[in-house]
Structure 1
Amino acid sequence: MSAPAVTARPVLARPYPADGATVGVVFVAILMIVPARLVFRGLSFAITPAEAVGLFALVWWLCSHFTDTLGAAKGRTLVRSAVFVYVASLVATYAYATAGNLPRDELELADHMLVTAMAMIGVVLLIVDGVRGRARLDVILRAVAVMGAVLGVIGAVQFLFKFDPTRYMVLPGLRFTQEELFILERNGLSRVAATTGHPIEFAVMCAMILPIALHLAFRAREQGRPSLRWWACAGLIAAGMVFSVSRSAFVGLAGATVVLLIGWPRTRRLLALGAMLLFLGAVKVVVPGVLGAIIDLFTNLSNDSSLRWRTMDYAAAAEEIGRHPWLGRGLGTWYAPKYLVFDNQYILTTVETGIIGVLAFAGLFAAGIWSALHARHLLSDPADRDLGLTLAACLVVPLIGAATFDLRSYAVITGLSFLLVGSAGALMRHARFTRAAAPVPPSTTRRRDPES
């Protein structure tokens, strides 16, 4: 009697192994959900969980370039070159600053800022070289949109109910750097920050990722797939921006809108206009006074004390820049309350890292915008081309926002900005690979003369 046949159990193959996109999604979730003021206990200086992931990404990137088995892309890209220039400027500034006699408090801050800067560099390099293919890049961008919607819900709870759930979101092993609430007041209205460090940061973050949610919604609609969930994400992100009551967000969003309107077809422009009017009508009904308060931010500029405060520090900045024009006084060494607060990242970067440092900082975003637009030029698929336009619009927001507040001082907006720069670089890699792999049309192939 023969033994009964043993039926092998089917093995479910994973569609993708863990890669740079996997780490990118983990980074996005931790960065946006864990409150920004939570840091690890027991360390000599403050490190957030998201920065720890960034440092891991940097180590992963370094190790991956010693082997061909970890799936990292090789070869130069504009974004990666811009990253190397930025790193070189930071190291040069650190060497220049520490060669002098820095006070102990400023030296400790310089050490801390260099470590956190390397964490953000790790995020960019992880995305540029570790995210292979359009599908894996989509995974990260969908995570950004979903997490943005979650933050929109948290912001709405803070604004509508004056309740701050972030006070109860403390994970084991972490501590708050300060116990202040994430809810502020402006002109009698609450200004909320969700899990970020400040309402301005929350607002600019929402303005920066709103085009991603719109891209996903329009793409799903045009491809005949369910799009309601992405429209809901876009609405929640936009609500978070409104509830933060911040002028900087709307200035940045205006810049992004110009980029999108130039590239969008006429039908999409009309749909976007209709969606905007519907959203504004809903805000007017639910929270009647908030739109008027936002309009007053622009119509009452002459009486705005915060705007006057921003312009009072130009003389002090010019004097300090004159002392160290090229490499600055040291990254992180100009801080409040010891020194004046510069609500302008370009001024603060010039003071701390000099003219070379501020050009490298701005060049990083410029490289991301150029890469996204050039990828749009190289690609033929409408969804891919629209993603290039979307990433360029997203990166315009922090480029403008850096002129209205000290963007680099806030962890969430910095982390997302660097992640989107890396995403633009990854899309550029995808565009080059797609272009190189595309078959040459027969009509363009030169026929060989048999008599030659």
Structure 2
Amino acid sequence: MVPDHLGGKQQADGATLACVYALAMTMIPAALVLKGMPMAITPGMAIGLVMGVLWFCAQLVTTLGVAKGRNAARTALFLFACSQLATYGYATYGYLPPDELAAADRTLITLLAVISVGIAACDGVRGLARIDRLLKTMVAGATFMAVVGILQFMAGLDLTQYLMPPGLRPNGEMSYVLERSNFRRPAGTAGHPIEFGVVCAMAVPLALHYALRGMDHGGPHRRWWLCLAILAVASMQSLSRSAVLALAIAAIFIIPAMTPKRRVRALLGILLFVGAMRVVVPGLVGTLYSLFTSISVDPSAESRRRAVERAGSEIAEHLVLGRGMGTYLPEKYGWLDNQYLGTLVQNGVVGLVLLIFLYLAGMYCAFRARLASKDPRVRDLGVTIAACIAVPGISSATFDLIGFAVATGYTFLLVGVAGALWRTVQEQPGGVPPLLGEPLQRGRRPQRHPHRRSAPHRTEVSA
């Protein structure tokens, strides 16, 4: 690989594969799978599995520039993979109905694919320039999906009907536009409007970061402002409580890290954006507001409350390793709409702890890079990635994240990027300063009777 500072042509590397993965996840409709396969495998899943094989091969040699050694994000991904294998072995040791066994097989392969993407990104994306390239590609892919969703919402035009690459087939019904409160509820190229809104909200901090970086350090910034506007509008048009919550989470992380003057501008920008949405799409803001005020009588909220009761007996019966990831079929047992509850049911306490650890490890790497680096670009990028990971981390309590391929793929990819950013900072010249600084020297204990030791000194001087 030719270093960036030499001006040579950049060869394909881990960032290249990750960019292809991000575009495949967002530009190809989620309902399309590969033809001629006995299992429903999406193009993104296939790319993830290839990335895992290539990562494993690259770890066997030392000449391909792939990072090695421990990393918090890499460790969290590895432990999460171990929990999935343990749960699968526990679930398939006894009898499983054919439909649950097929779902467990596909879920295991899906999770191994996204875990491979995260580990490959953590070890294979080297340097700030390649991290930027990957994150910008993720913003571009999410913006394309947002444009498709906006056209679905505003004009009822569904471009997914024309996004049919050769070699793919629909897996079930291709329906990407639902309805809520007399509004079209778009899904873009995602599998559901909730996933669509959350993925757009995950990309909002990245678009804002590159827009502000272009203004502060030079470079293009108008294109990123345009992406930011498209992503924010699409998040609102998803008519999803999870998307609104995701935007709020991103703001809570990003705004306090700004300078006081920019903080005020950001708050004013949010107010202007909400006001513009009220004017451009009458009734949209009121509908979103009513989703929260009427939550006590909302059918979906009532379904989530009943889900806790349904899951209680399953949790008690399979507390440690769960009943098996993917074996709790919503059509058969009822919807949970809560990834943490679903993980506790299907992966047990072990899987739930390691899922939370996965989110925390990604945020730790991002914040550790911010604290250890003096480069303002790296510092801003650290808090931005942490905000992006916090979006699915908290939104997992409001919808079943792992049941949606695009949201899951972006989440694991961001965790891997956080690990890659921390590796980049660790490799900077001069090393990494300690997290807590140098320990303070303990002061000497004051003497109880100082006059007893000072008397000989006075005598000696007088002599």
User: TM-score range with shorter-chain normalisation?
Assistant: over 0.9
**Counterpart amino acid of 1:267?**
K
Q: Tell me what 1:251 maps to.
A: 245
Corresponding residue for residue 339 of structure 2? 345
- Residue 222 (1) aligns with residue 213 (2): no
Equivalent pair of 1:79/1:367 in contact (CA under 8 Å): yes
Cα distance in 2 between the residues matched to 1:14 and 1:181:
46
Alpha-carbon offset, residue 437 of structure 1: 4.9
Alignment match of 1:97 (pick from 76, 91, 94)? 91
Contact kept, 8 Å, 1:378 with 1:435, in 2: the verdict is no
Structure 2 letter corresponding to 1:379: S
Aligned match of 1:208: 202
Cα separation, 1, equivalents of 2:189 and 2:294 = 29
Instruction: Describe the shift of the 1:111–1:159 C-alpha distance in structure 2 as closer, same or farther (beyond 3 A).
Output: same
Q: Where does residue 373 of structure 1 map in the other structure?
A: 367
Q: Deviations over 1:170-201 (max 9, x none)?
A: 11111111224211111111111000000000
Residues 189-208 of structure 1 mapped to structure 2, 5 A cutoff: 189-208=183-202
Give 1:270 shift. 2.3
Does the 8 A contact of 1:151 with 1:240 survive in 2? no
RMSD over aligned Cα atoms: 1.6
For residue 355 of structure 1, what is the aligned residue in structure 2?
A: 349
SS, match of residue 175 in structure 1: strand
Aligned counterpart, 1:26? 20
Q: CA deviation at 1:224?
A: 3.2
How far apart are 1:281 and its partner, in Å?
Answer: 3.3
Map 1:58-137 onto structure 2 (within 5 A). Answer: 58-137=52-131
Taking the aligned partners of 1:37 and 1:14, their CA distance within structure 2 comes to 40
Corresponding position of 2:11: 17
3-state SS of 2:336 partner: coil
**Shift in Å, 1:102:** 1.3
1:35, distance to aligned residue in structure 2 (A)? 0.3
Amino acid corresponding to residue 200 of structure 2 in structure 1: C
Letter of the structure 1 residue corresponding to residue 396 of structure 2: A
Tell me how many residue pairs correspond in the alignment.
429
Question: Is the contact between residue 379 and residue 435 of structure 1 (CA under 8 Å) also seen in structure 2?
Answer: no
Contact 2:143 2:200 in 1 (8 A): no
- Verify the 8 A CA contact 1:207 1:253 in the aligned structure 2: yes
1:256-335 map, 5 Å = 256-335=250-329
**Letter of the aligned partner of 1:146 in structure 2?**
A
After TM superposition, the score normalised by the length of structure 2 is 0.90
C-alpha distance in 2, partners of 1:15/1:285?
Answer: 48
CA deviations 1:392-451 (Å, max 9, x no partner) are 111111011110011100000000000000010000101111154589xxxx9xxxxxxx
Residue matched to 2:441 = none
1:274 deviates by: 3.3
Q: Is the 8 A contact 2:372 2:432 kept in 1?
A: no
Query: The residue matched to 2:33 in structure 1 has which SS?
Result: strand
- 2: CA distance, partners of 1:31 / 1:286: 30
Do the aligned residues in 2 keep the contact of 1:164 with 1:181 (CA within 8 Å)? no
SS at match of 1:303: coil
Cα offset, 1:340, TM superposition = 1.2
CA distance in structure 1 between the aligned counterparts of 2:87 and 2:403, rounded to whole angstroms: 18
Q: Which residue of 2 aligns with 1:9?
A: none
Calculate the TM-score normalised by the size of structure 1.
Answer: 0.92
Deviation digits for residues 109-130 of structure 1, max 9, x if unmatched?
1111111111001100111000
Percent identity between the two aligned chains: 45
Secondary structure, in 3 states, of the residue corresponding to 1:337?
A: helix
Q: Which of these two proteins has the greater Rg computed from alpha carbons? A: 2
CA distance in 2, matches of 1:131, 1:230: 22
The 8 Å contact of residues 106 and 332 in structure 1, kept in 2 or not, is answered as yes
Aligned equivalents of 1:130 and 1:92: distance in 2? 27
Structure 1 gaps of 5+ residues are: 1-11, 445-452
Q: How far is 1:285 from its partner?
A: 2.5
- 1:13 deviates by 7.3
Does the CA contact (< 8 Å) of 2:197 and 2:240 recur in 1? yes
Q: Secondary structure at the match of 1:313?
A: helix
Find the aligned partners of 1:183 and 1:14 in 2 and give their Cα distance: 46
User: What are the superposed Cα offsets for residues 286-314 of structure 1, whole Å, 9 maximum, x if unpaired?
Assistant: 21111111111112222211111110121
Q: Who is 1:448 aligned against? A: none
Partner residue of 2:460?
Answer: none
1:319 is displaced (CA, Å) by 0.6
Residue deviations 1:123-171 (CA, integer Å, cap 9, x gap): 0011100011000000011111112221221111100111211012111
Q: Aligned partners of 1:200 and 1:189: how far apart in 2?
A: 15
| Equivalent in the alignment of 1:152 | 146
CA contact (8 A) 2:48 2:114 kept: yes
Distance in 1 (alpha carbons) for counterparts of 2:22 and 2:250: 22
Among 401, 411, 416, which residue is 2:395 paired with?
401
Q: Is the 8 A contact 1:214 1:231 kept in 2?
A: yes
Q: CA deviation at 1:276?
A: 2.3
